Structure 1
Amino acid sequence: MSTTISTTNPARSDVTAGPTTRPAGTRSRAWALAGVGAALSSIAGTVAAGFVHGVYAEDTRGDDVAILDSLGGDVTAMTVFHVGISLAAVLLVVFAAGLARRLREALPYDSLGPVVAGAGVLATAVVWVMAGALDTEFIFGATAPEALVPATAAFYGHWVGTVPGCTMLVGLGGLGVFAAHRRGGAPRWLGLTGLLLGGLTVLLGISPVQYMAGATSALWLLVTACGFIFGDRAHRRTA
Structure 2
Amino acid sequence: MSTTVTSETSTTQPTRPAPAGRAWALSGVGAALTGAAGIWFSLAVSPPYPTDSVLTPEAVVAHYATVVPQLLGFHVTTVLAAVLLLPFAAGLHRRLTGRTPAGSLHGLVAMLGLVVLSAVLVLGSGLNTEFIFGFLTPEMLVPSDASFYSHWVATISWLWVTAGVSGLAVGVAALRHGAAGRGLGVASLALGGLTLLLGVSPLQYMAGFVGPLLLLVLAVAMLRNRS
Check whether TM > 0.5. yes
Which stretches in structure 1 are left out of the alignment for 5+ residues? 1-6
Partner of 2:3: none
Matched-pair contact (CA < 8 Å) for 1:92–1:121: yes
Matched-pair contact (CA < 8 Å) for 1:103–1:176: no
- Quote the Cα distance in structure 1 between the aligned partners of 2:54 and 2:36: 25
- Quote the Cα distance in structure 2 between the aligned partners of 1:20 and 1:177: 27
Matched-pair contact (CA < 8 Å) for 2:49–2:55: no
- Quote the Cα distance in structure 1 between the aligned partners of 2:146 and 2:135: 9
Find 1:119's aligned residue among 112, 122, 129: 112
Matched-pair contact (CA < 8 Å) for 1:61–1:67: no
Amino acid corresponding to residue 55 of structure 2 in structure 1: G
Partner of 1:4: none
Partner of 1:3: none
- Quote the Cα distance in structure 2 between the aligned partners of 1:115 and 1:147: 46
Quote the RMSD (CA, aligned, Å): 2.1
- Quote the Cα distance in structure 2 between the aligned partners of 1:220 and 1:90: 18
Partner of 1:204: 198
- Quote the Cα distance in structure 2 between the aligned partners of 1:53 and 1:215: 16
* 1:164 and 2:157 correspond: yes
1:29-67 Cα shifts (integer Å, max 9, x gaps)? 21111010001111111111112222x421785301111
**Normalising by structure 2, what TM-score?**
0.90
Find 1:100's aligned residue among 93, 96, 100: 93
Q: 1:112 deviation in Å?
A: 1.4
Partner of 1:216: 210
Matched-pair contact (CA < 8 Å) for 1:39–1:222: yes
Tell me which stretches of 4 or more aligned residues in structure 1 moved more than 6 Å. Answer: none
Matched-pair contact (CA < 8 Å) for 1:52–1:77: yes
Amino acid corresponding to residue 194 of structure 1 in structure 2: S
Amino acid corresponding to residue 19 of structure 1 in structure 2: T
Aligned residue pairs, count:
219
Matches within 5 A, 1:3-152: 19=15, 21-22=17-18, 26-54=19-47, 56-58=48-50, 61-152=54-145
Find 1:190's aligned residue among 184, 195, 208: 184
Which stretches in structure 2 are left out of the alignment for 5+ residues? 1-6
Matched-pair contact (CA < 8 Å) for 2:41–2:70: yes
- Quote the Cα distance in structure 2 between the aligned partners of 1:161 and 1:118: 26
SS across alignment from 2:40: helix
Q: 1:173 deviation in Å?
A: 1.4
1:212-235 Cα shifts (integer Å, max 9, x gaps)? 1111111111111111112x25xx
Q: 1:88 deviation in Å?
A: 0.6
Amino acid corresponding to residue 187 of structure 2 in structure 1: T
* 1:227 and 2:210 correspond: no
**Normalising by structure 1, what TM-score?**
0.86
Matched-pair contact (CA < 8 Å) for 2:82–2:121: yes
Matched-pair contact (CA < 8 Å) for 2:34–2:78: yes
Amino acid corresponding to residue 220 of structure 1 in structure 2: L
- Quote the Cα distance in structure 2 between the aligned partners of 1:131 and 1:226: 26
- Quote the Cα distance in structure 2 between the aligned partners of 1:161 and 1:103: 34
Q: Percent identity?
A: 44
Amino acid corresponding to residue 145 of structure 2 in structure 1: T
- Quote the Cα distance in structure 1 between the aligned partners of 2:26 and 2:144: 41
SS across alignment from 1:53: coil
Amino acid corresponding to residue 109 of structure 2 in structure 1: V
- Quote the Cα distance in structure 1 between the aligned partners of 2:138 and 2:14: 63
